[in-house]
Amino acid sequence: MKQIYAIFFAVLLSFSFNIERANSQNNVLLEYCTGTWCQWCPCGHDIINEILINFPNTVVLGYHGAGSDPWQTYSSGIRGLMGFSAYPTGVIGRFSGVISRTGWNNEVVIQSSLIQPGVSIAVSNKSYDANSRTLNATVKITALSDLTESILSIMY
């Protein structure tokens, strides 16, 4: 079941960022928790903006929560699963564990340069029908090397 979710997540990201060609570089995922009430979170946003200047293919997902944040219910499940308990903290590439904002840049640098993707994913011929909520696309996944284990198991 995890494999189905991982493939769906990869395809969803490809649609969200309008990828028309194959991309064989490691696009690092930065997931972090934030809050409208958080006095330290603007510093986290500044760090993210700097990361995006240096690594524009970084995918950033923010999860709001706690305090009086109006979006806390929406992301409470993922915040709990990720283990976020302080704001702003984040997880880089789902490898780093929960780290403070001061460590995000270094971890993105490491994962961008040292971790090479095992597959290339190309999405083309995509269309979405909002009325029927039907998504159609051609997805081509190519192994970039001999895969010794399931690439999807590395993601979790």
**Class of the CATH-defined domain 21-114:** alpha beta
Q: In 10 A of CB 87, how many CB atoms?
A: 22
Strands across the sheet with 29-34, in order?
59-64, 29-34, 89-92, 99-100
Extents of the domains making up the chain: 21-114, 119-154
156 residues of the chain, pLDDT tens digit each: 444 444 444 444 444 444 444 455 678 999 998 888 888 888 989 999 999 999 998 999 988 887 777 777 777 777 888 888 888 999 998 888 899 999 999 999 988 887 777 778 888 898 999 999 898 999 888 887 776 665 555 544
Q: In 10 A of CB 93, how many CB atoms?
A: 21
- How far is the C-alpha of 37 from the C-alpha of 68, rounded, in Å? 7
Whether the model pTM is above 0.85: no
Residue type, 144: L
- Determine which helix (DSSP H) or strand (DSSP E) holds 45, and give its type and residue range: helix 41-54
Residue type, 86: A
